[in-house]
Amino acid sequence: MTTMQTRPGPTGRRTAQRRLRLLKVLVAVIGLTIAARLVWLQTAQAPQYQARAAAIQTDIVEVAPARGDIVDRNGIILAGNRTAYEVVADTDVDEQTLQQVAELTGSELTDVQARMVICGQPGSLPGTCYAGQPGQPQPVVVDVGVPEALAVREADLPGIDIRTAAVREYPSQANAAGLLGYVSGGVGQSGLEAQYDQALRGVPGQARRELTRQGSSRSVITQAPVAGETLRTSIDAQTQTVAEQALQEAVETARDEGYKATGGSVVVLEADSGAVVAMASYPSYDPNIWAHGVTDDQYAQLTDETSGRPLVFRPIQALAPPASTFKSMTTVAAVNAGFDTGRTYECPASVVVGGQVFRNYESRAYGPVSLAQALSVSCDTVFYRLGYQMWRKDGGLAGEGAAEQVVRTARSFGLGARTGVDLPGEVAGSIPDRTQVQTEYDQRSADYCLRAKQGYPEESNPARAKMLKAYARDYCKSGFEYKAGDAMNTAIGQGRTLVTPLQVAGAYAAIANGGTLVTPHIGSLQEAPSRGSVDATPAALTYVREALADTTVTGTASGAFAGFPLTEYPVAAKTGTAEVAGKQSTSWFASFAPADDPKYVVVVNVDQGGLGAATSGPVARAVYEQLFGITP
């Protein structure tokens, strides 16, 4: 400016100077404006942008804890974890990339694509569809081998990554599928997995994942996961394996002999503690199928009647009449009711009550026998008569305030009620008494009385329709009555009595241990509190124990135990052959050993498997050989 004042230039120069001043002001104003905007963004607006940045940059993810192992009493792992590799894809991966993934892993493109579909969307397949958090990378090939995983990683396809996943594995020889149950979505869904889910699951940790726009991320674990506890069980893996194999062989043998043998159970308990040593169910299935989701087809297989409904865990979920195994309880009931164990009872081929003929099923006529003999040879007619006499004593049809000794005693042995075993889904069964018959009648009579009038027009077989109508008419007229036949059938474990194999095992444990109704348990080696004492005198129990010891020597199971070292390891047993309307008989074998100082209870049943001794006896024998280390 000084030059301008001292040496005034031409007008052009003045214009230039003026316009340059304007430019200087403009530069300053724009600079200040931008600076002001910057200050505003970084002070007043900063909290808002910081919150938005945090939402974009970070992402709290759950860190799954390792699921606890389930081990047997010796620490052998029944259910453990292994690391599986899976290929995961971002949701927007194109078909060409998926095709490359399929090629690298040797899988079908359609299978890979099926896993991209979110469950519930059109075309989604249960067990295959994606059930996780939407927007997260989805597994498209599960359980790939290490070479395939490496190949995918090296290919470095966009939106494709390799992840590890913990998958349940079953390293022991035992199958135990129904006992262990399964895990889906990280949650135990059945069996021990469900019962002890909380402890097994552990506590999930948290990780803060810092994302970048390229999709890569680094995770910082902010809270470490707590691994699930190891569940020690009372199961003995070897005994479990033997029980499973013996049961399968028994089923196969029965089928060779023309029986359907639709399913079976083995229960092995410690007589004093109720600890479950083994519990097998047939048919079973491969538990590994749950690892990556079960398809519709697989699920149908698991629940289908024709495949024997492998998902049903029969020891606690299959109901059947206990048949002759019930006679031990009838014997105790008779003693409770005052019948003399010192005298003899007639064992004819049949008894006739009210014009109805009740025949011996398993045994022949023996003439006069002691109660003990009646038990070991399983003479039905002796027990029919006992049942009838006790029914008469209760007042017959009237039965106001009846003692109902048989039902009451059997119930005190835990039959017809849940045992409280530490497994979900246990069923109760029932032993109907007078009150229950009445209640049932009140509920059903309207239906039956209507049918008594209208018949069964929808039934195509006229003979069957006629029979059904006759039954409806009878039931309508006298269904509320607790008839002599009901009492007699109950006495031999038939009729409407329904129990589970585990209930029978619990009842026999009480006989074996001197009257304590133990609570069967698996989840720990500590004793679970017992369910109290059974309704039996020590003398009565001793009497029954001694009688049952004869079964394997001279009674119904002598054939199945021929050649077994009974002097060293005496086995007390009761066979049973339950009759179920319209089906082949259910084979039962309830036992404990050593008979003089019982340690183990072994109960076997095979649905539609024929005679108790022939089909189920050998299974029990195989289990005892394993338990006592006997080489056959």
Partner 1 sequence: MTVLTSPPRVVTTRRFDVWILIAAASLSLIGVAMVYSTTWGRLVADGDPPGYFAIRQGLFLVLGVMAAWVVYRLDRPRLMALAIGGYALSLLGLLAVLTPLGTTINGTRAWLTLPGGFTLQPAEFAKVFVVLLAALWLSDRAGVHGGDDPPEPRAVLAVLAATGAVVGLLMLQPDLGSALVTLAAVLGVLFVAGVRRRFLVLLLASGVVVAVLAYVVGALDAYQVARFTAFLDPAGDPQGVGYNVQQALIAIGTGGVTGQGLLEGAHTQGAFVPYQYTDFIYSAVGEELGMIGGVLVIGLFVLLLQRGLLAATHADPFGTLLATGIVCWLAAQGFENLGMNVGLLPVTGVPLPLVSYGGSSVIAAWMGVGLLLKVSRRV
| SS3 labels along 156-222 | CCCCEEEEEEEEEECCCCCCCHHHHCCEECCEECCHHHHHCHHHHHCECEEEEEEECCCCCEEEEEE
Binding to partner 1 (CB under 8 A): which residues in 212-251? 212-214, 216
State which residue, 24 or 453, has the beta carbon closest to partner 1: 24
Residue 12 in the binding site for partner 1 (CB under 8 A): yes
**343 lies in the binding site for partner 1 (CB under 8 A):** no
**Cβ atoms within 10 A of the Cβ of 597, count?**
9
Q: Binding segment for partner 1 among 34-42, 429-437, 506-514, 535-543 (CB under 8 A)?
A: 34-42
Per CB under 8 A, 95 contacts partner 1? no
Per-residue three-class SS string for 368-432? EECHHHHHHCCCHHHHHHHHHHHHHHCCCCCCCCCCCHHHHHHHHCCCCCCCCCCCCCCCCCECC
Rounded least distance, CB 95 to partner 1, Å: 22
CA–CA dist 609, 251 (Å, integer): 7
Cβ(623)–Cβ(251) below 8 Å = no
Given the complex with partner 1, which of 20 and 60 has the nearer CB atom? Answer: 20
Minimum gap (Å) between residue 159 Cβ and partner 1: 16
Comparison of 37 and 359: residue with beta carbon closer to partner 1 = 37
Site string for partner 1, 40-79 (x = CB under 8 A): -xxx-xx-xxx-xx--xx----------------------
Q: By CB under 8 A, is residue 30 in contact with partner 1?
A: yes
Q: Footprint of partner 1 on residues 501-540 (CB under 8 A)?
A: none
Q: How far apart are CA 269 and CA 276, in angstroms?
A: 4
Give Cβ neighbours of residue 63 (< 8 Å, ≥ 6 apart): 204, 205, 206, 207, 221, 223, 224, 225
User: H or E segment at 623?
Assistant: helix 617-627
Residue 604 near residue 251, CB atoms below 8 Å: no
CB of 32 to partner 1, least distance (A): 8
CB of 41 to partner 1, least distance (A): 5
Six token digits for residue 537: 């005198």
- Considering only residues 102 to 161 of the shown chain, the ones binding partner 1 according to CB under 8 A are none
Tokens, residue 260: 């359907």
Q: Which is nearer to partner 1, 49 or 392 (CB)?
A: 49
583 binds partner 1 (CB under 8 A): no
Cβ 52 to partner 1, closest distance in Å?
A: 5
**Judged by CB under 8 A, does residue 5 bind partner 1?**
no
The distance of closest approach from Cβ of residue 49 to partner 1 in the complex, given in angstroms and rounded to an integer, is: 2
The dihedral formed by the CA atoms of 240, 241, 244 and 250, expressed in degrees to the nearest 10: -120
- Choose which of 8, 28, 304, 529 interacts with partner 1 (CB under 8 A): 28
Q: Considering the complex, state which of residue 1 and residue 463 has its C-beta at the smaller distance from partner 1.
A: 1
20 in contact with partner 1 (CB under 8 A): yes
Q: Are 264 and 609 in contact (CB under 8 A)?
A: yes
Total residues at the site for partner 1 (CB under 8 A)? 43
Specify the amino acid at residue 118. Answer: I
Rg of the chain over Cα atoms, rounded to whole angstroms, equals 37
Interacting residue with partner 1 among 60, 155, 203, 211 (CB under 8 A): 211
Cβ distance to partner 1 smaller for residue 23 or 357: 23
Residue 416 sits at φ, ψ, to 5 deg, of 75, 15
Pair type for strands 231-232 and 70-71: parallel
Q: Quote the least distance from Cβ 17 to partner 1, whole Å.
A: 6
Q: Does 464 bind partner 1 (CB under 8 A)?
A: no
Task: State whether residue 347 is helix, strand or coil.
Answer: strand
Stretch that binds partner 1, among 23-31, 175-183, 329-337, 578-586 (CB under 8 A): 23-31
Q: Which stretch binds partner 1 (CB under 8 A): 24-32, 100-108, 501-509, 610-618?
A: 24-32
Question: Does 33 contact partner 1 by CB under 8 A?
Answer: yes
50 versus 198: smaller Cβ distance to partner 1: 50
**Cα 197 from chain centre:** 13
Stretch that binds partner 1, among 20-28, 125-133, 169-177, 305-313 (CB under 8 A): 20-28
Q: Which two tokens stand for residue 93?
A: 């991966």
Question: For binding to partner 1 (CB under 8 A), which residues are involved?
Answer: 1, 3, 7, 9-13, 15-17, 19-20, 23-24, 27-28, 30-31, 33-35, 37-39, 41-43, 45-46, 48-50, 52-53, 56-57, 210-214, 216
